[in-house]
Amino acid sequence: MAKRWRVGLVGVGRGSGYGKLFAEEPRCEVVACCDLSPQALARFQKELHLPDSGCFTDYAKFVQSGLDIVFVGTPMPVHADQTVVALEAGCAVLSEVTAASTVEDCKRIVDAVRRTGKPYMLAENCIYWHFVAQWKEWVASGRLGEIVHAECEYLHPIPTLIYDRATGVKKWRFTRAPLHYCTHSLGPILEMTGDRIVRACGLGQGHRVMPEAPIGGIDMQIGLFETAKGMSIKILRTSVLPREPAIHYYVLHGTKGFVESSRVGVGNPGLLYVVGEMKTHQAIEVPMNDPSLPESARAGGHGTAEYSLIHDFLGSLERGETPRLDVKRAMDMTVPGLVAHESAMKGGVWLDVPALA
């Protein structure tokens, strides 16, 4: 029988969804979990049916427990430390988004991947929504002409995950700027166009809705970007302003047409217009799920995205290939948001986005 990958998961929230998918995957064996909180760890243990010997509150002991793959599902500020330790222990790392909270931490991850030669992949699940592959094909075939401009939005009010007004408890998102959480938006655009961002400009410092949280509670941030191929991208992000329903939104404008997802969220009908193919726009499906996959493939939390992501990651490990969302693409998708927030704090100056890998 082919090798079974020994998988360990840290951070119960996102670890749960990925844990279920890894547990269902015949090529993998979930052997360990880790969480700082004993209550969270107990929940993790129960969900994954693990013995006490496979459960850790001490991350250093967890990574030394004979793992091939570590899934990092902890808060963003912890990603860099945990990723570096796991790579140095000889594990492949699949990390939740975004790669890290600072450019310095991103550099540490890049250095660790180079030094250890171990595989690293960013678990940017939105890239694995079904429509992204279809739009990517349209871009590659030239159906929309040259892509000139793209827009993306992630508007999702989660105030209680930032600050608990009743108790005064600050959550880890208290210090996470809206623009820092950019990979769900920029990721699919960069995946479809194969481009990378070279300059960024950000706006948005006000915090009217949640004045207690001066960074995590910024009302709304806008990022403008220029890419190496010369296109422009606009991103809109909020974690606090009322928005029903919460949405992910994407639009690509090319020299021959445009494609756009729905204003009430992906999964709903979008629009397509291509010069010469149709007189006016057409309603199109913007499917999140791969219809060829079974119902059980939806356990990850966002339709079939996490299932497809895991399969892509395992395939790259088995073939000894660089994962699709390797350290270079992880930083191409993470660093622009860090730089755009820095720009917003400086009043909107244009700043270069460094290529880290």
Ligand X SMILES: NC(=O)c1ccc[n+]([C@@H]2O[C@H](COP(=O)([O-])OP(=O)(O)OC[C@H]3O[C@@H](n4cnc5c(N)ncnc54)[C@H](O)[C@@H]3O)[C@@H](O)[C@H]2O)c1
Binding residues for ligand X (CB under 6 A): 10-14, 34-37, 40, 59, 73-76, 78, 96-97, 125, 172, 302
Q: How many helices (H) and strands (E) does the chain have?
A: 9, 17
Q: Count the Cβ atoms, other than its own, within 10 Å of residue 53.
A: 9
Closest CB to ligand X among residues 281, 324 = 324
How far apart are CB 202 and ligand X at their closest, in Å? 19
Strand partners, 175: none
Nearest to ligand X of 74, 289 (CB atom): 74
Give least dist CB 65 to ligand X, A.
14
**Omega prior to 211 cis, within 30 of 0:** no
User: With respect to ligand X, which residue has the nearer C-beta, 199 or 298?
Assistant: 298
C-beta closer to ligand X: residue 77 or 145: 77
Residue 247 Cβ vs ligand X, minimum distance, rounded to whole Å: 14
Tokens of 134: 């279809």
For residues 19 and 30, the answer to whether their CB atoms sit within 8 Å is yes
Burial call 164-176: b when 16+ CB within 10 Å, e when fewer: eeeeeeebebbbb
Nearer to ligand X, 19 or 257 (CB): 19
Query: Tokens 């509670």 label which residue?
Result: 217
Smaller CB distance to ligand X: residue 185 or 227? 185
State the DSSP code for 54: G
Q: Measured at CB, which residue is nearest to ligand X?
A: 13
Paired sense of beta strands 257-260 and 270-274, if any: antiparallel
Please report how close the Cβ of residue 298 comes to ligand X at its closest, in angstroms. 13
Tell the smallest beta-carbon distance from residue 75 to ligand X (Å).
5
Shortest CB 21 distance to ligand X, Å: 13
> Could you tell me if 333 and 122 are in contact, meaning their C-beta atoms sit under 8 angstroms apart?
yes
My answer on whether omega of the bond before 98 falls inside 30° of 0, hence cis, is yes
